[in-house]
Amino acid sequence: MAEIYGTCDDRFEQVSNVFSANLDAGHDLGASVAVVVAGEPVVDIWGGYLDEAKSTPWEKDTIINVWSTTKTMAALCSLILADRGELDLYAPVAKYWPEFAAGGKGEIEFRHILSHTSGLSGWSEPMTTEDLYDWEKATSLLAAQEPWWQPGTASGYHAVTQGYLVGEVVRRITGQTIGRFFADEVAGPLGADFHIGTPASADDRVAPVIPPPAPTAEMLAAFDPAGPGARTLGNPPLDASVSYTIPWRRAEIPAANGHGNARSVAAVQSVLACGGEVNGVRLLSEKGCEVVFQEQSNGTDLVLATPLRFGMGYGLSGELMPIPERACYWGGWGGSVVIMDLDTKLCVTYMMNRMESGLVGDLRGAGIALAAFAAVNS
């Protein structure tokens, strides 16, 4: 049996068992799992290694690039500003970012960005990975271009662009970058070790990801080279190993380069699961949390070519994710995932280094989540 470290309430023993089985079978190399119920940590475990040679163990404070799980942090920042009355989710983006009205985008509302329905799933102009470190270039190109489809009519996963779009609106409203706003208003008050723009002081705790298998010919054939899927995911083409680099780590890429672990993701997102307040720290009103469930789209995503149902900034229960109706979720490239259930005040998170090919979670995290739901409902 793989050695598991940390704490796990007896009631949630099956969560630890599933995690251990993933490590034993080689599905996981190194990972962390957390479950928080009503603001109380009931599972905080980790195990495995940082490297294929199994020479360096995954430690309690190890953090890693969690890819699109970062989007839940940007979404939470948006909800906080909306709850304060500083951001109207149904207002045109151009109200806060006048340049955004170019290219016929004057009617695109902020909710369209949060739900991946704005038609700006990628850049029309060629982009390099290095361009992602240039906030002004990344945002000004998006402000200038035309949408790729009629906004509001369908989702098309804004794999990387969503963070810049959300982040620029946050910057226009607060005068702070979204990484700074998140650190000051969210992670700091909650004591959460999660970063959008990771400081040098954390470098010695960052685990490298193990890149996913190369896409098969069958997977590649599923994408129309002129369609939004190929245009979104191929510009710039991302190699997972770029996340090892210091420029990537230091940049603010609010849809893709957040660094944390299961404990820190749960510490933040349990706020939503608990109706806006955890351990005396209130970031949202209960009404502000309910906004998540305002359905914005439900159908086959134009980029991922899979059925998805989006609320305000989070995925909702649907064919792909049969979670309770008052639960929401999102995950990251390679397998990381976070799920919140507002009825049971449950938040379950899984962050790992061995990436699989999926973009928004896989069966490893699903098995852990099923065990957590079974325990909380027992």
Residues belonging to the active site: 68
> 3-class DSSP state for residue 18?
helix
Written as one letter, the residue type at 169 is V
Residue 279: phi and psi, rounded to 5, are 50, 45
Collect all residues with Cβ–Cβ distance below 8 Å to 147 and sequence separation of at least 6.
103, 104, 105, 108, 118, 119, 120
User: How many angstroms separate the CA atoms of 333 and 160, rounded?
Assistant: 11
Residues in a beta bridge with 339: 329, 348
CB 368 within 8 A of CB 19: yes
CA 57 from centroid of its chain's CA atoms:
25
Q: Six-digit token pair at 360?
A: 């928004």
> What is the 8-class DSSP label of residue 204?
G
Place of tokens 């998170």: 349
User: How many angstroms separate the CA atoms of 252 and 282, rounded?
Assistant: 25
User: How many angstroms separate the CA atoms of 217 and 187, rounded?
Assistant: 41
Alpha helix segments (H runs only) across 158-308: 161-174, 178-182, 188-190, 217-221, 228-233, 246-250, 262-273, 286-290
Collect all residues with Cβ–Cβ distance below 8 Å to 85 and sequence separation of at least 6.
none
Q: Six-digit token pair at 214?
A: 């190369």
